[in-house]
Structure 1
Amino acid sequence: MQYEPPTVLVHCGCTVGEGPLYDETTQTLYWVDIPRGVLWRYSFRSGSADFCEVGEPAGSLCPAGDDGFVIAARRGFLHLERWDAEPILWRPVEHDLPTQFNDGKCDSRGRFLAGTAAFEGKCPGALYCLDSDGTVTRLISGVGMSNGLDWSPDDRLFYHVDSETRAVTRYSWDADDGVPHNPEALITLTAAEGLPDGLSVDADGYLWIAVWGGSQVRRYDPAGRLVGRILLPTPNVSSCTFGGPDLSDLFITTAAAGVAPDSPGWEYAGSLFMVPAVGRGQARKAFSGPIQ
């Protein structure tokens, strides 16, 4: 399948853009700049972008209805009551370790899953679940660099990226208990291909995987076979998500980190890209619990 060339939607210059999420209710696309602790949003109603700062590295966020937003950040899960408010630490996680939250998103029940990665040294990360009652549970331990995650359309499979091992693992998933089971290696990239980073599963069960160092987003079928790719004009492609009025457009975050000034693609590094009409994504859930 041929796709239209990616175009820059926002020249945001993110050091590490990550965690894109489209909110159908407000027709707003959100994403983060991890090391700067900046939250970005683009309104499709107004056609404009703006940002706010949370004061610490932030890996991902999700809307929480009238309660504002939950942010997976350096010290744990933060609560941002409104866009221009001061965030508060709601649930500390690994705050005494040299780790920080990376990618994350909500499952079909509104639980927020997010993983950690070391920002210095070799401290292993983990995958956590923030339940609707505020309970935090460690789901997977010993992760090198927790990254992209998503679920199959029938809610029976869970996919998780460990960028350090260059692997995408498939798990069986029971939405009732919210725990991944029966890990099975699905996709492993070579060093020459790059690092698997963020991912999004479309409504047909195909995996769209951003490849850091590979200048592309790859599309894999549910069996793990490569069936397509979208090339980007900058090397460090970090994540992707579906959005737009019918969830058919793909939005892609990138990073300026690791891209030398005046090298090929430097002028696009850290931008948010859009590719129209590539398929159809899955609707995203907001965090389901009251924040108290």
Structure 2
Amino acid sequence: MTELLPDSLHNVLEVRARLAEGPIWDASQQLLYWVDIYNHRVHRFYPATGQDEYFDVGDVVGAIALAGDNQLIMALRHQLAFLNTQTGSITSIIELESHQENNRLNDGKCDPQGRFWFGSMSSKPTQASLYRYDQDGSLHLMETGLTISNGLGWSPDQKTFYLTDSPQQKIFAYDFDAITGNITHRRTIVDLTHESFNPDGLTIDSAGYIWSAMWNGGCIIRFSPTGEEVSRIHLPVPLVTSCTFGGEDLQTLYITTASVGLQQEEIDKSLYSGDLFAINTEVAGLPTYGFNGVY
């Protein structure tokens, strides 16, 4: 196992977000979108200049994906909506789980066919679900019995779908039918129940390896396609939330972190909690899949 130390990291944006999450790379504009969930913000970061700007979307925002020119699709607290990234205007799409006050929508991502997958999280065990929203406007319930539906992605050959349930400390693999969008044969591919931290957001590289952010673990762990730990990237903060590949060659790993819930003593020890980090890698990531397209 390879250990990568913090001095190989770059703190690319000192922003002190409460709960930064959901980074996605826009290759056409060479910029990174990410969300600050509890501050109700969708951020747009330009690595070339270091400039960062944001849209206040007026609600908890758990996930975003590219959805065409100047548009994102968002999973807000209890609805999907489009965000116009020129005007900041928001268009509601569909409402769901609004009757479940203990639930809100959480992490999401588009599959290679352009369908938007997103899950919910609940303060009650096993009360969360996973959904798929298709381009024809249909909504599909894909999985139930989850507590915090999190980190999801697809293998490069599009035969395997990965899904994280953070409180269970597990990453599941499913057989994925690219044509129908169906998932079957769930099995545990990564079991972290022996650890003191929880897997959060994830991304997949072009070799099929899984890069999973560790909440309360202060690191990113890279797993082989069969679930073996290969390496760890240590960060100078405890709450590591998600990651994605970006840059011209897709070999820059961008990492989001959080500061929410930390006590003052913990903040004093990890002053950069909530910042955005980056590290150059030897392997490239996969292209960004958007709603009905690749960007």
Task: Give the TM interval when normalised to the shorter protein.
Answer: over 0.9
Further displaced range: 35-44 or 158-167: 35-44
Match of 1:9 in 2: 12
Separation in 2, partners of 1:49, 1:159: 31
DSSP-derived class of the 2:173 partner: strand
The match for 1:18 among 18, 21, 24 is 21
Q: Percent identity?
A: 34
TM-score (norm 1): 0.94
Residues 1:140 and 2:134 aligned together: no
Separation in 2, partners of 1:112, 1:227: 30
Q: Give yes or no for contact 2:258–2:274 (8 Å, CA) kept in 1.
A: yes
Residues 1:43 and 2:24 aligned together: no
The amino acid of 1:43's aligned partner reads Y
Residues 1:246 and 2:255 aligned together: no
Match of 1:196 in 2: 199
Match of 1:114 in 2: 118
Counterparts in 2 of 1:1-292, with a 5 A limit?
1=2, 3=4, 5-66=8-69, 68-98=71-101, 99-118=103-122, 120-122=123-125, 124-190=127-193, 192-263=195-266, 265-288=269-292
CA drift of 1:261 comes to: 1.9
DSSP-derived class of the 2:69 partner: helix
Q: Give yes or no for contact 1:146–1:161 (8 Å, CA) kept in 2.
A: yes
CA drift of 1:88 comes to: 2.6
CA drift of 1:285 comes to: 1.6
Instruction: Tell me the C-alpha RMSD between the 2 structures.
Output: 1.7
DSSP-derived class of the 1:164 partner: helix
The amino acid of 1:113's aligned partner reads W
Separation in 2, partners of 1:82, 1:275: 27
Separation in 1, partners of 2:23, 2:135: 21
Shift of the 278–267 alpha-carbon distance from structure 1 to 2, 3 Å rule, reads: farther
Q: Deviations over 1:207-249 (max 9, x none)?
A: 0010001000001111111110000000010101110110001
CA drift of 1:191 comes to: 5.7
TM-score (norm 2): 0.93
CA drift of 1:265 comes to: 4.0
Separation in 1, partners of 2:125, 2:26: 35
Shift of the 37–123 alpha-carbon distance from structure 1 to 2, 3 Å rule, reads: farther
Separation in 2, partners of 1:86, 1:191: 45
CA drift of 1:2 comes to: 6.1
Q: Give yes or no for contact 1:219–1:229 (8 Å, CA) kept in 2.
A: yes
CA drift of 1:122 comes to: 4.5
Separation in 1, partners of 2:253, 2:205: 10
Q: Deviations over 1:170-228 (max 9, x none)?
A: 00101101111100111111364300001111000000010001000001111111110
DSSP-derived class of the 1:268 partner: coil
Separation in 2, partners of 1:265, 1:208: 25
The amino acid of 1:279's aligned partner reads V
Shift of the 72–190 alpha-carbon distance from structure 1 to 2, 3 Å rule, reads: same
Separation in 2, partners of 1:158, 1:121: 25
DSSP-derived class of the 1:21 partner: strand
